[in-house]
Amino acid sequence: MSVFDLRLSELHNRLQNKQLSVTELVEHSFKRIAETDGEIGAFLTLNEEGARKEAQALDARLAEGGERGLLFGVPAGVKDNIVTESLRTTCGSKFLDNHDPIYDATVVSKLRSAQSVTIGKLNMDEFAMGGSNENSAYRAVRNPWNLERVPGGSSGGSAASVAAGQVYFSLGSDTGGSIRQPAAYCGVVGLKPTYGLVSRFGLVAFASSLDQIGPITKNVEDSAYVLQAIAGHDHRDSTSANVDVPDYLSALTGDVKGLRIGVPKEYIGQGVDPQVKERVLEALKVFESLGATWEEISLPHTEYAVATYYLLASSEASSNLARFDGVRYGVRADNPANLLDLYRRSRSEGFGPEVKRRIMLGTYALSSGYYDAYYKKAQQVRTLIKRDFDQAFEQYDLIIGPTAPTTAFKLGEQVNDPLTMYLNDICTIPVSLAGVPAISVPCGLAEGLPVGLQIIGKPFDESTVLRAAHAFESQAGFRDLRPALS
């Protein structure tokens, strides 16, 4: 058993009792990475010097005695679109190959305040655009459960590193499913908070109205601890919600008696793998046994969500990625003839195919003559999708379904077919468009690969989402599922 399989409270006790040092934890992380990351490819940059120095400093503080927070000394990985001061941050893109950020993202500062140790930066689809991690400009990440399979994306490195026991937890980002879907494929817990709960300051923007940072962990309790550490208002993010952050730990009561669950028929219908559906129905039986009730419901605009998302997210991306122009950071083309040539060639050299494709799609949707037909139309349909959720939540406390319609697919299987790839996000995208919180928690295996259960809640009601996920996890017995990775 790995020291990373210890419960956080147990790990904490061992640190407090000096049975374990932060240096040992950090060395365990680097050792595990050295053993496994040649195959997995989860890390783009290791913070070896920084993490070791930090560990020494924290061990010195431990020697002084006194109570520490639960994340004290705990090794974490950070998705590479979250900026870390003086620690290379590439967004999985050659454009930012040598980018050396001048500040920490708010979530990174918060983890630092909690005295967690950043082990390194995690691989991802370039600029978070993708659902398989094959769009990384560096290397594809492989799924620790089966090296022929993708880990999901875009936070594939974040999910794979936790599943492979390389770090205790990680941070990912989710725009249309990029935390939840890789968590499902890798058999770990991934939480996308309500839009606005966690500061986006220092998250390199993909689609600003959708992007949200969240934790990837081995269990729900850890998810609550990490969310507690990173949530809250930030004046540096003008879309940060000014709401009180509740105590998420106290929500983990194990009691879901009387909770009303809606199960959208659209999430378990056509296109959903029968075994995935079977695991979800078994999970609903677990909820029944715990005293919750469920009924089939309809979110009638679900079938329009993927088209809506790709128009809106690509439009926002085409605008956000205009900043990568070769002037202030990143790639600059050699010997530009003039400023326009500098922009065009720097961008063409620096961006990979999926990023170019989405910039093209977004630019088209925003261009003169097409704005109303595509961009505005999609914004209106977004309103209808959000209303589906508002109406469902008038009658139900939670909405539950699969996180993804299938388990992890094979590398190379979908990479040349963008539309098919986009449809993997059919269960996660509507949730992102509505801006509500959702968690993916393991609900068993299908042919040896993990299946994720998606539990969706009302805006800013992470407490109920975590409570239900925790009760399910405690009852269902999949918490300690680990890949047989040597």
Asked if 441 and 280 touch (Cβ cutoff 8 Å), the reply is no
Vertex 427: Cα angle to 124 and 195 (nearest 5): 65
Q: Which CB, 419 or 484, lies closer to other proteins?
A: 419
Q: Rounded to the nearest whole angstrom, what is the least distance from the CB of residue 36 to other proteins in the complex? A: 32
Place of tokens 């195959």: 39
- In our burial notation (b when 16+ CB lie closer than 10 A, e otherwise), range 263-279 reads bbebbbeeebbebbbeb
Taking the least distance from each CB to other proteins, the nearer of 73 and 176 is 176
Structure tokens at 369: 């003559």
| Shorter beta-carbon distance to other proteins: residue 226 or 317 | 317
Nearest 5°: the CA angle 175, 202, 437 is: 35
Query: Which tokens go with 399?
Result: 């909405």
Residue 454, judged by CB atoms within 10 A of its CB (0-12, 13-18, 19+), counts as buried
Residues ≥6 apart with Cβ < 8 Å to 382: 308, 312, 433
State which residue, 19 or 238, has the beta carbon closest to other proteins.
Answer: 238
Distance of CA 301 to the CA centre of its chain: 24
The least CB distance from residue 315 to other proteins, in Å, is: 11
Output the DSSP codes for 73-125.
Answer: T-EEEEETTB-BTTB---TT-GGGTT---SS--HHHHHHHHTT-EEEEEE--S
Q: Which of 75, 64, 77 is nearest to 11 (CA)?
A: 75
Q: How far is the CB of 314 from other proteins (least distance, A)?
A: 9
Tell me the C-alpha distance between 183 and 457, whole Å.
18
Applying CB under 8 A, the residues found at the interface with other proteins are: 98-100, 102, 195-196, 208-209, 235, 238-239, 241, 301, 303-304, 306-308, 310-311, 318, 322, 325-332, 336-345, 347-348, 351, 353, 356-357, 359-361, 363-364, 367, 374, 376-384, 386, 418-419, 422, 433-435, 459
Nearer to other proteins, 9 or 98 (CB): 98
Shorter beta-carbon distance to other proteins: residue 350 or 450: 350
As a whole number of angstroms, the distance between CA 313 and CA 422 comes to 12
Nearer to other proteins among residue 16 and residue 379 (C-beta): 379
Could you give the dihedral angle defined by the CA atoms of residues 127, 128, 132 and 138, in that order, rounded to the nearest 10 degrees?
30
Cis peptide before 154 (omega within 30 of 0): yes
Least CB distance to other proteins at residue 327 (A): 5
CB of residue 23 vs other proteins: minimum separation in angstroms? Answer: 30
- Provide the annotated active-site residues: 79, 154, 178
Dihedral pair phi/psi, residue 342, rounded to 5°: -60, -50
Q: Which of 114, 117, 121 is nearest to 100 (CA)?
A: 121
Q: Least distance from C-beta 297 to other proteins, angstroms?
A: 20
| CA pair distance 323, 93, nearest whole angstrom | 14
Minimum separation from the CB atom of position 299 to other proteins (A) = 14
Length of the chain: 486
**Dihedrals phi, psi of 437, to nearest 5 degrees:** -80, 150
Nearest approach, Cβ of residue 318 and other proteins (Å)? 6
Of the two residues 340 and 484, which places its CB atom closer to other proteins in the complex? Answer: 340
